[in-house]
Structure 1
Amino acid sequence: MATPTPQILRVLWEEVEVSYTDVALDVLSLYEFVITIGDEARVVWKRPWTMSSILFLSNRWIGMVGMNIVGVTPLTPEPPRAEFSVYSI
C-alpha cells in the first residue's frame, strides 16, 4: 500500500473539517428551532392564517427538513468521488 501524499491528506482533512462544520451548524440550527417553537406557536399558529404566516411556516419547516437531509447525507457512506481519483496512481 502506498503512503498517502501530503496533498491527499490535506484533501481528506478538509473533508473532515467540512463534516464537523456541517454538524455544528445543524446542531445550532436545531437548537434555535427548538427554543423558538413556543414563540412560533403563540405568534403564528394561534392566529388566523395569512399569506405571510404560510410563507413563514413553509420557509421554516421546509428549511429544517432540507437542512436535515443535506446535513445527514455527508455522514453516510458513499463511493469515492471523482476528486479522489485524480490523486490515484
Structure 2
Amino acid sequence: MKGAPVCRRCKTDLTRTLQAQNDAYTHYQTALQAQAKGRFEKMLRHAGRCFSLHRTIAHGRLLACAAMLNGDYRLALTTWACIAGRHRQG
C-alpha cells in the first residue's frame, strides 16, 4: 500500500477506511484527555465513537472503562465480552 489510498493488489479505494482509522485515533486521544480531566461523560462519548469506528482491543478496553466510570455496567460487560472474544481468536 505504501501510503496510497488504493490497494495495489485489488485497486480498492481505501480513503474512507483510512479516514475512519484516523477519526478513531482522534476520538481515542480525546477520550484519554477527558479521562485525565475527570470528564467521564465526555470520555464515554468519545470512547464509544472510537470503538464504533475501529474495533480494537485497546479501544474496547477504553470503552469498557468509560462505561464503568459512568455506571453503565451492562455496556461495560458487553464490551468486555466482545473484546475478550477477539483476544481469544488471535
Q: Which bracket does the TM-score occupy, shorter chain normalised?
A: 0.3 to 0.5
Larger relative CO (CA 8 A, sep 6+): 1 or 2? Answer: 1
TM-score (norm 1): 0.38
